Chains A and B, each alone.
Chain A
Amino acid sequence: MSENVIKVGMADLKHTLHPGTLITLGLGSCVGVALYDTKTKIIGLAHIMLPWSHQARNRFNKAKFADTGIKLLLDNMIESGAHRDSIVAKLAGGAQMFAYTAVSDVIRVGERNVEATKKVLADFNIPVIAEDTGGRHGRTIEFYSEDGRLMIKTIGYGITYI
């Protein structure tokens, strides 16, 4: 039905009015934050790479971090007419692609991304109504404005909807 399909890259964010579909390919340790306004059906998707902007030296790209990325996405959605009170969130990603233990930062970044994302969403009073996070596999996600469904595609773990 909807021809309005928008791709969200790594460390990128996009939103769209209904009808529309937002997709992001190959999430690993990154987290896909999908925001849905149940009233207007405006959807937004952020492909978050790192937890906190203050921990990084280069903060130029706001979409890269959970704190600045979620805030920017919310601002953009609200500017387009979404209501803060009726926005809900779904999360996917935050996997640990390698078990390698000597690189402590690398192994926990997925987990830390999920933690930071939840903390930021809680601060904005946005409920996380579903998630498919963690594990050791990549995910491609498609987010539909029609009903706020999030499709999760994997290699070897099938397709699920949350």
Chain B
Amino acid sequence: MDASFLNSFHLDILKEIGNIGAGNAATALANILDKKVDMKVPQIRIMGFSEVSEVLGGAETAVAGILLGIRGDISGYILFVLEETAAKVLVNILMGKNPEEEVAYNEITLSALKEVGNILTGSYLSALSTLTGLMIKPDVPDIAIDMAGAILSVPAIDFGKTTDTVLYIETEFIEGKNRVIGDFFLVPDTDSYMKLINTLGAIY
């Protein structure tokens, strides 16, 4: 997705989508955790490749990335990335354990995380779908826990085909003393990108 095509209207709409999406996601998260979850107003960010490694605490920071393919009127994928320390907190709360406890990543914990990512990205996509009127279907999620640089290279490479920047939405969820910062990278393929821009443009 070439962020240079985006004007301030597009960014406002994307921000609004991010807002509604994150709102939905916070509600969904509150339901899964059975706890009150607040959120901060999401930030839309456009950054150059050189800064990619600075997101989420540096290129070598361990992060969890949950990737969800999208189909329907637009195709591509959405990637939700959060720091591994935050992922640990989420898994522990889900499992009814102390948030600080060490987590062994096995089939159970990974699928729990996948499910959280699935619900959060699903909420975001449904906001996008509602606001644009485009039919957007999420696919099966996939998860990877590794260095931030390596995970973020996936959207960066796709943006890289047309531009030297990456667009993402930073969202902060707050549950009691626990804060979870997550970044959503929406990566439509080239045709879908134009469709999305045109649809967003037509809203105004």
Contacts and interface: CB of A to CB of B under 8 A. Distances in A.
Given A58-B163, A98-B144, A140-B60, A26 B157 contact: no
Contact of B154 (A29, A153, A155): A29
A140 B153 contact: no
Interface stretch (A36-44, A75-83, A121-129, A131-139): A131-139
Contact of B49 (A9, A106, A136): A9
A56 B157 contact: no
B176 to A, nearest CB: 29
Contacts of B69: 100, 102-103
A68 B59 CA distance: 25
Contact of A28 (B153, B161, B189): B153
A61 interface: yes
Kindly state the interface size class of chain B when it binds its partner. 35 or more
A118 interface: no
What is the predominant secondary structure among interface residues of chain A facing chain B?
A: loop
Contacts of A61: 164
A138 B144 CA distance: 10
Contacts of B158: 105-106
Given A58-B162, A100-B69, A106-B154, A26 B59 contact: yes
Interface string A5-20: 0000111100000000
Contact of A103 (B52, B62, B65, B76): B76
A10 B50 contact: yes
Contact of B160 (A27, A50, A95, A100): A50
Interface in A92-150: 95, 97-100, 102-103, 105-106, 109, 136-140
A74 interface: no
A64 interface: yes
B50 A9 contact: yes
A26 B148 contact: yes
B153 A26 contact: yes
Task: Return the 5 tightest CB-CB contacts between A and B, nearest first.
Answer: A26-B149, A138-B150, A28-B150, A26-B59, A25-B59
5 contacts: A25-B60, A26-B150, A28-B150, A28-B153, A98-B154
Interface of B: 2, 49-50, 52-53, 58-60, 62, 65, 67, 69, 71, 76-77, 139, 142, 144-154, 156-158, 160-164, 189
Interface of A: 9-12, 25-30, 49-50, 55-58, 60-61, 64, 95, 97-100, 102-103, 105-106, 109, 136-140, 153, 155
